[in-house]
Amino acid sequence: MNFLIFFSLVTALSSIVCDLFPFYKQKIELLILRQANELSVEMIENINSPSQKRSWSQNYIFAFILLNISTITFIINKNDLWLAIFVLLFALAAYIDALCNWVPDPLIYGITWYTMIFVIYHFHPVPIEIKGHLYGVVSFVAPMILTNIIVWFCHFKRQFASGDLIIAIPIGLWIKPEYSLLVIGFAMVFANFFSIYTKRKTIPFLPFLFISFNLVNLSQLS
């Protein structure tokens, strides 16, 4: 019964996200352009035109599959609602990033605060085990920072955006320390292969991090 309720809620959320997010992004784009004093009548018409709205492929199947990975986690992990909700939020961020290579700040900070609440709830008073998780976060984020430094010195640009680095911190807390390097390593390999295959220099990273996280996580739970 719990599974059916969770599945129904996630499925409904998939449709809501597909319907409403394109309009939310358009408002953000207009706001940024206005603040930069670069908005023209032509830009407004282009953003609000039907063709621009249609260019937002509202991929219901993609959203349904991605968000319902949280349902699979919920089932395999014996109704662990904390982890399932985190995977759902992570899936939402990955879905949005896959569409527009950008994740809204409220979602990034929402995932961060949710993780902090989980840590406070489960590790109070703070046991020795939390130190291992903190080491795991360092080993998870360090390769991304190191890659950014190397790419900056070689090409004067960042490989990972600030949003990727911020959201990587709470993600690292949900991974067992011994698997941190494995998850980030798989994600980087997947992303590089995709970039080479599609010949795209700029690609969203969160979808690959989401795939890697769940492959490792579900393999542990099953």
pLDDT tens digits, 195-219: 888 888 788 899 999 999 999 887 7
Q: Which residue has the higher pLDDT, 154 or 222?
A: 154
| Residue 42: both structure tokens together | 């032509």
Nearest residue to 117 via CA among 176, 170, 180, 177: 170
Angle subtended at Cα 210 by Cα 204 and Cα 213, rounded to the nearest 5 degrees: 140
Measured in residues, the chain has a length of 222
Alpha-carbon distances, residue 46 vs 28, 52, 54 (angstroms): 14, 7, 12
Percent of the chain with pLDDT over 70: 73
For residue 17, pLDDT over 80 is answered with: no
8 Å CB contact between 19 and 59: no
- pLDDT at residue 91, as a whole number: 93
pTM: 0.80
Q: Which pLDDT score, from 0 to 100, does residue 212 have? A: 93
Question: Torsions phi, psi of 56, nearest 5?
Answer: -80, 90
